[in-house]
Amino acid sequence: MGAARPDRLLLLLTVAAVWGPCFSGTLRSPQRRWPVPYRRFDYRPKTDPYCQARYTFCPTGSAIPVMEEQDVIEVYRLQAPVWEFKYGDLLGHLKIMHDAVGFKSSLTGKNYTMEWYELFQLGNCTFPHLRPGMDAPFWCNQGAACFYEGIDDAHWKENGTLVLVTTISGTMFNEMAKWVKYDNETGIYYETWTVQASPNKQSIVWFDSYECSKFILRTYQKLADLGAVFKKIQTNYTSIILFSGEPIYLGNETSIFGPLGNKTLAAAIRNFYYPFKPHRTVGEFFVDLLKIIDRVILNHQFYLFYNLEYWFLPMKFPYLKIIYEEVPLPIGSKTSFGV
């Protein structure tokens, strides 16, 4: 049986999103660098056949073309509500937005879209599967870049954004393409949550998310480094934030779930993730939602999986918040590649 999750999980995520079991250990994190640096890898591993997507990843994807050096390419900011193709503007009212970037070649007239998202949908990247006969939670949490010809104007314009942000040369585009290949091969795991100490703008950030908007921000910054000059327009992005005290490092899969692992801790982590399983009925959904509220809000506890390691978060008010805040377009730091 595959590992696709129902869409109802997104509702669970936005209503109560992350609340778990009791843990009263005395472990202290040996890592004091905050936020914890996102881990990059030497190569992208093959996905497990157990992981199945409800919607095929990048169905019309193609290789990034090599542009003529003298080409002038328009760059567009693209943003629309998550799952707009299915729910319209429903998630747009909650400011849960998906980001992409568009390109238009002046020489060929062709349009292209580039985005970065989950291989197996958001639910699988946010919560694991508890498979029979396996002690450790099983994750289907890879994300990747998708490049394809065409820009779906109606999709981006109707409930979102399609706006020109800069113009680049073919040379700059080709340099960006090389960077995209590196970024995509080394940054392979989707991280849903930003975790910070408080809602204050100067708050300590414990963990930073790694999702679609962060890819677009990195792409813009790379173009700025290559010399792109961006227009002065406001650009907002969605973040889903958990609030906690200082995280406690617990270990990796082997140290927790292996033969010499901590069986009590292993059971606590599994019990925490159990209510986030796919639900067959609305009744099951609300029963598990109550469990989540009890664990995260009343007991102030959450288990986070980040960089293939587990952390304990001592949750605190307001626990979870979805924000839609401005992140300014970057300022270039190098000489332009001849637009």
Is the separation of the CB atoms in 251 and 324 below 8 Å? no
CA distances 57 to 78, 99, 175, 183, Å, are 18, 16, 25, 18
Provide the CA 208 distance to its chain's centre, in angstroms: 10
314 three-class SS: strand
CB of 227 closer than 8 Å to CB of 163: no
d(CA 218, CA 228) in angstroms, rounded, equals 13
Tokens of 194: 């930003």
Based on the residue annotation, tell me whether 212 is a catalytic residue of this protein: yes
The single residue of 129, 140, 212, 300 carrying the catalytic annotation is 212
Rounded Cα distance, 190 and 208, in Å? 11
Q: Which residues pair with 193 in a beta bridge?
A: none
Tokens of 324: 């839609």
Angle at 293 between CA 287 and CA 298, to 5 degrees: 135
Candidates 51, 98, 129, 300; catalytic one: 98
Contact 49, 119 (CB under 8 A): no
Rounded Cα gap, residues 262 and 242, in angstroms: 26
Bond before 35 cis per omega within 30 degrees: yes
Query: Residue 100 in 3-state DSSP?
Result: strand
Euclidean distance between CA atoms 137 and 86, whole angstroms? 30
Residues tagged active-site: 98, 212
